[in-house]
Structures are given as structure tokens and as C-alpha cells.
């Protein structure tokens, strides 16, 4: 039986970026299918009464040390975005639309790289348009596409689904009914995919 790794994320979450750099390899090693599930983290926080870790000064200072450490551990580039926090509603609707339209493989890495490697200001529509154009996507079309009801509905449905399954933050991974919160739980995700967790 092929297992599935369901990966709920938001582009505004740096730990989601870090985990995202690893999940494809984890799924491949385990012979599993990876399903990325873009959700609106702000919607999850509102529904669960949670808040961004950045809202707590002590945790924000700790993360400033912790996140680069994880990036070094993984051997991936990382830059704390100077424009953080970013309102990710348009970006997450864009991800939903890209999945519907078969453009996700170009859209997804371009947005993550712009956010957590290049430190681009993705609150700025013009800057988002530059990122999409550089990725070979039609920025004007995306600007219109994220207003379409199917893109809005898909993002809302995935966010509601996440909350219903117990998600309270990002990244959150599922293997069947087993939920794993955080980038640092990825070793257990791999164990679950390999049937080593009961």
C-alpha cells in the first residue's frame, strides 16, 4: 500500500519553507506520495485561537537563531524576510489556482524562493508580478485568477479541512490520521511513512 504525506503549509511560515525543502526527498525515500496542501495560516490562527510565534518577542529572538541553524543543517539557503510579516492571502490563493491550473510546479518554488531566500517584499503586488514573470508565469493572469471563485473556494476548503483535522499551525504533516506539527518532526513523519510508528 502506498502511503501519502499530506503537507499543510503557508508561504508566510519560515518553518514551512524549511520543511518544504525536505518533504519531497522524505516521500521518495519512503516510496510515498507527497500532497502539498496550501492553507491560510491566518484563518487557522483565527479558528483555533492561536497566534504567530513572531508575536512573542522571546520566541521571535529564539527563532532568529533557530531557523538559520536548521537551514545549515539541511544545507539550504535561508534569509529572514525583512518585510515579515507578509499578508499571504493572495499568495495562498495563487497556490490554490496554480494547483487547479497545473502550474504549481513553477509557482510554488518561485514564491518560496522569493520569500525566504531572496527576501523580496511580497506585500507589494508589483514585486510579486516580477517574481511570477521571472518564473515564466503570466502575472496579469494570476492577478485576475486569484479573484475567481474556484481558487477562493479551494483555499477556504483546505483551510477548513486543516482546522477540522486538528491543525493549529504550520507546517503540519499527516500520515493517515497521524498528525505531526513542525519542521522538527520530519524524522517521525518519515518513520510513519515507512510503517515504523504504530
In CATH, what number is assigned to the domain containing residue 33? Answer: 3.40.30.10
End-to-end CA distance of the chain: 16
DSSP state of 179: E
φ and ψ at residue 160, rounded to 5 degrees: -65, -40
Say if 39 falls within a structural domain: yes
Give dist(CA 69, CA 74) in Å, integer.
Answer: 9
User: Is 198 part of any domain?
Assistant: no
3-state secondary structure of 191: helix
Q: In this structure, is residue 152 part of a structural domain?
A: yes
In sign, the C-alpha dihedral spanning 24, 181, 69, 92 is: positive
Is residue 16 one of the residues assigned to a domain?
yes
Instruction: Provide CB contacts within 8 A for 67, sequence distance 6+.
Output: 14, 15, 18, 78, 80
Is residue 42 one of the residues assigned to a domain?
yes
- Tell me the HSE value of 27 on the side-chain side, using a 13 A CA sphere: 20
pLDDT tens readout for residues 176-198: 999 999 999 999 999 999 999 87
Reported as a single tens digit per residue, the pLDDT across 79-117 is 999 998 899 999 999 999 999 999 999 999 999 999 999
- The number of distinct structural domains making up the chain is 1
CA distance 38 to 50: 18
Position 175 in a domain: yes
Q: Does residue 135 form part of some domain?
A: yes
Task: Show the domain range for 48.
Answer: 4-193
pLDDT tens, residue by residue, 101-158 = 999 999 999 999 999 999 999 999 999 999 999 999 999 999 999 999 999 999 999 9
115 and 17 Cβ atoms separated by less than 8 Å: yes
| Dihedral (CA of 169, 173, 179, 181) sign | negative
Phi, psi of 136 (to 5 degrees): 80, 25
54 inside domain: yes
Confidence of residue 48 (pLDDT cuts 50, 70, 90): confident
Its pTM stands at 0.95
Amino acid at each position: 500500500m502506498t502511503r501519502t504525506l499530506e503537507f499543510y503549509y503557508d508561504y508566510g511560515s519560515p518553518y514551512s519553507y524549511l520543511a518544504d525543502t525536505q518533504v519531497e526527498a522524505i516521500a521518495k525515500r519512503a516510496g510515498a506520495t507527497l500532497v502539498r496542501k496550501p492553507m491560510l495560516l491566518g484563518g487557522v490562527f483565527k479558528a483555533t485561537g492561536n497566534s504567530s510565534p513572531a508575536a512573542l518577542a522571546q520566541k521571535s529572538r529564539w527563532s532568529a537563531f533557530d531557523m538559520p541553524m536548521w537551514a545549515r543543517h539541511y544545507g539550504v539557503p535561508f534569509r529572514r524576510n525583512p518585510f515579515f510579516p507578509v499578508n499571504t492571502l493572495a499568495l495562498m490563493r495563487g497556490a490554490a489556482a496554480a494547483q487547479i491550473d497545473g502550474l504549481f510546479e513553477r509557482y510554488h518554488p518561485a514564491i518560496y524562493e522569493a520569500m525566504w531566500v531572496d527576501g523580496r517584499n511580497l506585500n507589494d503586488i508589483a514585486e510579486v508580478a516580477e517574481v511570477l514573470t521571472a518564473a515564466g508565469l503570466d502575472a496579469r493572469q494570476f492577478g485576475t485568477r486569484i479573484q475567481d471563485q474556484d481558487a477562493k473556494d479551494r483555499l477556504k476548503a483546505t483551510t477548513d479541512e486543516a482546522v477540522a483535522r486538528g491543525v493549529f499551525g504550520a507546517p503540519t504533516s499527516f500520515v493517515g490520521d497521524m498528525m505531526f506539527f513542525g519542521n522538527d518532526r520530519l524524522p517521525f513523519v518519515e518513520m510513519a511513512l515507512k510503517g515504523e510508528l504504530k
